[in-house]
A and B are shown apart, each in its own frame.
Chain A
């Protein structure tokens, strides 16, 4: 890796900006964002819709290239990579979790989890064993051969998390991962994120729900394309404890 001086930051942005053009009108989606995120952090990105938080996440995840400033991922400047190089970075360094799960329909869970390994060129046998191991880690060992339509929303999102983790990324980017889930399932999903975060994986979570953001240890707040607030969370919620507190109620029901 280049830039040894910046190795202590997993993510480092400098005056990052993104401008879209809608016809003749330039639209400033992101402007002058400079942020440093260390390995192992759990960061919630908050803001109203149109605040620039999704654009920020797309740039971090190398789904898009910035129009100004630069973005370093694990010490490497990813601002000016071509499409194939960006694909390689996404494949090896980043795992995505989406609000809509984005699983391939009518395809067994295990094959969904294998997908990043297919593009990493991992042999079929190894793909299968690694995917099954990840499914076991998210508690779905017995659902490996179920199709997405046979799984609940929470289970589908756990398949998606297993998929995000299968190629051992440094960074998990989650875009409203609980947006389509009920509150209890949301907390279960957050428990998974916290568990993997505890094992050293950096998690960046985009959400507009403050009680979900409270599971993170740091909050970035965006408004009108600018970063307006960056502060640690005083007392992060612990998802496992929240779940433990709910268990008697569940039994009563």
Chain B
């Protein structure tokens, strides 16, 4: 007996009880559809978190000026500006995987505009900083190397600062006073939102490094070119761990640190934070899929149930098939293929329903979804496995019937 005729027999039998077959399939359809939708929703959430991380700027490594040990007392990170602009240039020059390294100083200052007064973070940095952060200027223009060269009194306002000081008015061209120095606002930055640490990234003023150092925050007495930190952007595909090691080695060399001395800087890989977040959303996806697969198992039990009923109902048919020469493996195959046909057909319909549901959720609930081919393969494979698993017991029961008893069955 060939596979083709087995499938033919199975299809004919399912057609004879069309309504019942469709209802049985419904369990699998719902199961597969929910697995696919849940994975799509989970993958969407993953993608959204990835986007959020990208808003920081991707492939970023932060190098912060480190501690200094003074008289056996270890001071905290950032207490001493051990890094310098020259370190940033050296990093950019000597490590090919580094796309850009942007040094900066930061401090807090009062910003005054008219009768409004606001205490905010001032960040002095190089013109390349915005590119490193993937940060655009919403209105006005960014500062340029020329501004940096002459320590021009120009400032870029974050959205929060702009709204606080100017409300809905356009701040570009207006003058704000920072530590009593008048600055011209040349631009307003795009909204960045919260950082991974929950700080408002828009509550800041950015200006050229030279300006910040010379006119607002004051320069370090030890090294006029000292900076608080360097933001390093790696090239796409660069290995972050290797890069960290390279940066560490280069800076240690430049700072003339002995092998037994601690680093006088601190390296933080922002992609590690990203990985942690992605891992947690992957767990979420897995959890959703697991819950959805419960319904697939329930669908499988539905198949088993209906196959058991079918075997009982068709006992005389089985007896007849045995009488005309069917072997028990033919009967086993027939009922297994019936169960498999139910589950695989249900699975295929489930894909369509699941795809439609993912699309609907994505479109109407504005919840990003991401339909993946591997989730489709997974769901259908799982459905087929469910068919075989739950179809086997009824099929075996059918194949073990004795011909005379089956023929006599009322």
| Segment with Cβ contacts to A, from B212-220, B291-299, B317-325 | B317-325
**Pair A90/B323 contact, Cβ less than 8 Å:** yes
With known contacts A64-B404, A102-B407, A119-B1, A92–B325 Cβ distance under 8 A: yes
B12 within 8 A of A: yes
Q: Inside 8 A of B328's CB, which chain A residues have their CB?
A: 83-84, 87
**Pair B325/A87 contact, Cβ less than 8 Å:** yes
A183 within 8 A of B: no
Q: Inside 8 A of B320's CB, which chain A residues have their CB?
A: 102, 104, 115
**Pair A96/B1 contact, Cβ less than 8 Å:** no
B327 within 8 A of A: yes
Instruction: List residues 208-231 of chain A with CB under 8 A from any CB of chain B.
Output: none
Q: Inside 8 A of B258's CB, which chain A residues have their CB?
A: none
Instruction: List residues 115-140 of chain A with CB under 8 A from any CB of chain B.
Output: 115-116, 118-121, 124
Instruction: List residues 80-107 of chain A with CB under 8 A from any CB of chain B.
Output: 83-84, 87-88, 90-92, 96, 98, 102, 104-107
Instruction: List residues 63-90 of chain B with CB under 8 A from any CB of chain A.
Output: none
Give Cα A237–Cα B55 distance, bound, in whole angstroms.
100
B276 within 8 A of A: no
Give Cα A98–Cα B320 distance, bound, in whole angstroms.
10
With known contacts A102-B316, A106-B16, A124-B5, A115–B321 Cβ distance under 8 A: yes
From A92, A111, A115, A167, residue with most partner B Cβ within 10 Å: A115
A63 within 8 A of B: yes
Q: Inside 8 A of B330's CB, which chain A residues have their CB?
A: 119
A67 within 8 A of B: no
Give Cα A79–Cα B324 distance, bound, in whole angstroms.
19
Q: Inside 8 A of B322's CB, which chain A residues have their CB?
A: 63, 87, 90
Give Cα A84–Cα B403 distance, bound, in whole angstroms.
12
B326 within 8 A of A: yes
A34 within 8 A of B: no
**Pair B403/A63 contact, Cβ less than 8 Å:** yes
**Pair A88/B325 contact, Cβ less than 8 Å:** yes
- Closest residue of chain A to B324 (Cβ to Cβ) is A116
- Distance from B192 Cβ to chain A, minimum over Cβ atoms (Å): 69
Give Cα A118–Cα B5 distance, bound, in whole angstroms.
7
- Closest residue of chain B to A55 (Cβ to Cβ) is B404
**Pair A90/B325 contact, Cβ less than 8 Å:** yes
A185 within 8 A of B: no
Q: Inside 8 A of B403's CB, which chain A residues have their CB?
A: 63-64
On chain A, which size bracket covers the interface?
Answer: 20 to 34
- Closest residue of chain B to A61 (Cβ to Cβ) is B323
**Pair A96/B324 contact, Cβ less than 8 Å:** yes
**Pair A116/B404 contact, Cβ less than 8 Å:** no
**Pair B317/A91 contact, Cβ less than 8 Å:** no
Give Cα A111–Cα B317 distance, bound, in whole angstroms.
14
Instruction: List residues 300-353 of chain B with CB under 8 A from any CB of chain A.
Output: 316-317, 319-330
B2 within 8 A of A: yes
- Chain A window 34-72, contacts with chain B (Cβ cutoff 8 Å), 1 for yes, 0 for no: 000000000000000000000000100101100000000
A158 within 8 A of B: no
**Pair A98/B324 contact, Cβ less than 8 Å:** no
- Distance from A57 Cβ to chain B, minimum over Cβ atoms (Å): 10
- Distance from A237 Cβ to chain B, minimum over Cβ atoms (Å): 29
Give Cα A64–Cα B402 distance, bound, in whole angstroms.
8
Q: Inside 8 A of A63's CB, which chain B residues have their CB?
A: 322-323, 403-404, 407
- Closest residue of chain A to B317 (Cβ to Cβ) is A104
From B9, B323, B327, B402, residue with most partner A Cβ within 10 Å: B323
**Pair B326/A119 contact, Cβ less than 8 Å:** yes
From A63, A87, A91, A111, residue with most partner B Cβ within 10 Å: A87
Q: Inside 8 A of A105's CB, which chain B residues have their CB?
A: 16
Give Cα A124–Cα B9 distance, bound, in whole angstroms.
12
- Closest residue of chain A to B330 (Cβ to Cβ) is A119
**Pair A91/B12 contact, Cβ less than 8 Å:** no
- Chain A window 150-170, contacts with chain B (Cβ cutoff 8 Å), 1 for yes, 0 for no: 000000000000010001000
- Closest residue of chain A to B9 (Cβ to Cβ) is A118
Give Cα A105–Cα B320 distance, bound, in whole angstroms.
12
Give Cα A106–Cα B18 distance, bound, in whole angstroms.
13
**Pair A58/B404 contact, Cβ less than 8 Å:** yes
Q: Inside 8 A of A61's CB, which chain B residues have their CB?
A: 323
Q: Inside 8 A of A120's CB, which chain B residues have their CB?
A: 325
Give Cα A120–Cα B325 distance, bound, in whole angstroms.
7
6 nearest interchain CB pairs?
A: A91-B325, A119-B325, A116-B324, A87-B327, A63-B403, A102-B320
Instruction: List 27 A-B pairs, Cβ < 8 Å.
Output: A58-B404, A63-B323, A63-B403, A64-B402, A64-B403, A84-B329, A87-B322, A87-B325, A88-B325, A88-B327, A90-B322, A90-B325, A92-B325, A96-B324, A98-B407, A102-B319, A102-B320, A102-B323, A102-B407, A115-B321, A115-B324, A116-B324, A118-B1, A119-B321, A119-B324, A120-B325, A163-B324
8 other contacts beyond A102-B319, A115-B321, A124-B5, with CB at 8 A cut-off? A58-B404, A64-B403, A83-B328, A84-B328, A87-B325, A102-B407, A115-B324, A124-B4
